Structures are given as structure tokens and as C-alpha cells.
Amino acid sequence: MPTTVLLADDSEIMRKVIKHFLKDDKDIEVLAEGTNFAQTILLATKLQPHVIVLDLHMGDERTVTPSQFKSSLSGSRLIAMSVWNDEVSKSLAETFGAMTVLDKATLATELIPAIKQCAKD
């Protein structure tokens, strides 16, 4: 059974790039794509993916509290990603319950191993 993934990024181009990285891995299945935090919460609650890959800086990030987001995870593991690989982003990711934070510049090599590690833990 493949690891199911919910992608959440407000950039359509970024979501396409991520899906391209994942398309050939038969152990990973992308279930859906969220374009903001509110939609991601709805999809996570409905689909209950194994892993959520979440852009920390989508347009509505201030409209959702970390506790609201965490309660929607329903056992899903969270991988945060950001173009800013700094302490502020790492702290924000931690408050949302992320197991790790990936720099968007390194997704090509780090995303698949991170998803598989999250699915194991």
C-alpha cells in the first residue's frame, strides 16, 4: 500500500514540480492538492493522508492557528517546506506540528526520503 500524500502550496507551479518529483515513486500516491491552509484542513480531515507536505507561507497563514491545524491532522505526519530556511520558519513549522522542515531548493533530493521517513515514524 503506497504512502498517501496531501500537497499544500499556494503556487500551482510548485505543486506541479513536487508532483513531478513524486510521480515515478510507486510507494507514494498524491491524493489531493491544497492551495491554502483552510482548504488543506478540509482535505486533511476528509482524506486523512499519511503525510502532508505543507508550504509554511501560503496567503492565509495568519487565519489558521497552529492548534486548529494540528487538530485536522488526524494522525497525518507533517513535512513543512519554505524558501526561507531560517529559525523563524523552523519555529513556525514546529508550532504547526511538522516533523521536519525542508528548503524548497533541496526538494528534488530530500522530499522522497523525508516522506518515507515520516511514514515510518
The reported pLDDT for the residue numbered 79 is 96
Other CB atoms closer than 10 Å to residue 10's CB: what's the count?
17
Calpha distance 3→34 (Å, rounded)? 18
Residue type, 72: S
Sketch the domain layout of the chain as residue ranges: 3-120
Reported residue count of the chain is: 121
Interstrand relation of 51-55 and 77-82 (parallel, antiparallel or unpaired) = parallel
84: pLDDT confidence band, cut at 50, 70 and 90?
confident
Instruction: Answer whether 0.85 is exceeded by the pTM.
Output: yes
Q: What percent of the chain has pLDDT over 70?
A: 98
pLDDT digits (tens, 9 = 90+) for 39-67: 999 999 999 999 999 998 887 666 788 88
121: pLDDT confidence band, cut at 50, 70 and 90?
confident
Task: List the CATH code of the domain at 3-120.
Answer: 3.40.50.2300
102: pLDDT confidence band, cut at 50, 70 and 90?
very high
**Mean pLDDT score across all residues of the chain:** 91
